[in-house]
Structure 1
Amino acid sequence: MRPTQILRSGGDAPVGRHGKFLGGWGAFGGMPQKGIITYTLSSNKQNPIAGAFHDAIFNTWRRFGSQVLYIAPPMIFFYYAMDWAIHRNHHLNSKHGRAEASDE
């Protein structure tokens, strides 16, 4: 294998007019293509928020529906645990709760 083939390292791609590799990914340095016509709309003529509110509603509902079973059960559990702890604390710090705790 010649040392120049290692530098080109493109397989069996053609060598360009000036001895440089002109192929591979993106075809860097290749001839420009002809006959391709593209049409674009000016950015100040586009409607950037077309359908945004409609898509936001359905996208939010889809994302909420896919995550609610991961979030809701722990939140419900900890809400009731915290509610029980607050009521238990109020009971133990009340007159009746202190009397009940001192009897034990």
Structure 2
Amino acid sequence: MRVSAPVNAGMPSGKTWSGWWGDMKGPKQKGIYVYSVSPFAQKPMKGALNGYLFWGVRRIAQQVPYFAPPFLIGYWVYSWGKDKYAYYNSKEGHHAMAMAEGGHH
């Protein structure tokens, strides 16, 4: 394998068919207009936080009826299970289970 020659590196010379980065050496085109806004005139984040404080909070408040009940039910089931587990692993819980099974104490 041969290392590429430094002559082939860099900008293309006159032997290439296509120009360098959009300079195609073809006829000038007419009737194409391009409009743009300077990057210095753009403010992409202007009003983002200010707009969120009102509209974002309002949007979240409208969605509360859809996500709050499942969350609250899930939390209630979790806390109930945790309390029940702690009770069954306590001395009182062991005694209650033994009595329910007809055991002696």
Q: TM-score range by the shorter chain?
A: 0.5 to 0.7
Number of the residue aligned with 1:57 = 53
Greater helix percent: which structure?
Answer: 1
Unpaired stretches in structure 2, ≥5 consecutive residues? 1-30, 101-105
Which structure exhibits the higher relative contact order, with contacts defined as CA atoms closer than 8 Å and separated by 6 or more residues? 1
Q: Shift in Å at residue 40 of structure 1?
A: 5.6
In the aligned structure 2, how far is the partner of 1:46 from the partner of 1:81? 51
Number of the residue aligned with 2:94 = 98
Asked whether 1:84 is paired with 2:70, we answer no
Unpaired stretches in structure 1, ≥5 consecutive residues? 1-31, 33-37
If the length of structure 1 is used for normalisation, what is the TM-score? 0.57
Letter in 1 for 2:82: I
What root-mean-square deviation, in Å, do the aligned CA atoms of Structure 1 and Structure 2 show? 2.5
Number of aligned residues: 71
Aligned sequence identity (%): 31
**Equivalent residues in 2 for 1:1-104, closer than 5 Å:** 41-104=37-100
In the aligned structure 1, how far is the partner of 2:66 from the partner of 2:38? 44
In the aligned structure 2, how far is the partner of 1:102 from the partner of 1:76? 34
SS of residue matched to 1:70 = helix
Q: Shift in Å at residue 61 of structure 1?
A: 0.8
Q: Which runs of 4+ in 1 moved over 6 A?
A: none
